[in-house]
Amino acid sequence: QVQLVESGGGLVQAGGSLRLSCAASGGTFSSFTITWFRQAPGKEREFVATISGRSGTMLYTDSVKGRFSISRDNTKNTAFLQMNSLKPEDTAVYSCAARNMWSASNPKEYDYWGQGTQVTVSS
């Protein structure tokens, strides 16, 4: 059974930075696609960024390109989301998810989820 645990969320002023971590246990971490989703109050969960297991191919949603960076350390079974130049509209619960196949932006296609971490950006 794969377990994912996010950390690193918090309250930050607009323009600030946060680094989220997604620590995995169980399974073969290097084979998983890891994706970050976020959900703001009253809104649907949305795709943020994804990274493939072996090649490290990355994709981002347009609204975070140039500001967010996804990465992973397969030796530590951990993925990261570096968030810079944060905006109030980035406020949401951020969750990491894993699947054995290459990326999908549809959260319904993911097998494993973390509990989420709150990111709040004040103006």
Among 8-17, 37-46, 54-63, which is the least confidently predicted range? 54-63
In whole angstroms, give the CA distance from residue 117 to residue 10. Answer: 8
Q: Per-residue pLDDT tens for 73-108?
A: 999 999 999 999 999 999 999 999 999 988 788 999
3-class DSSP assignment, residue 109 = helix
Q: What's residue 104's pLDDT?
A: 82
Indicate the Cα dihedral angle 34, 112, 61, 57, nearest 10°.
20
Confidence (pLDDT) at 103 = 76
pLDDT exceeds 90 at position 65? yes
Q: Which residues contact 41 (CB under 8 A, 6 or more apart)?
A: none
C-alpha to C-alpha distance for 43 and 53, rounded to whole angstroms: 29
Contact between 57 and 113 under an 8 Å Cβ cutoff? The reply is no
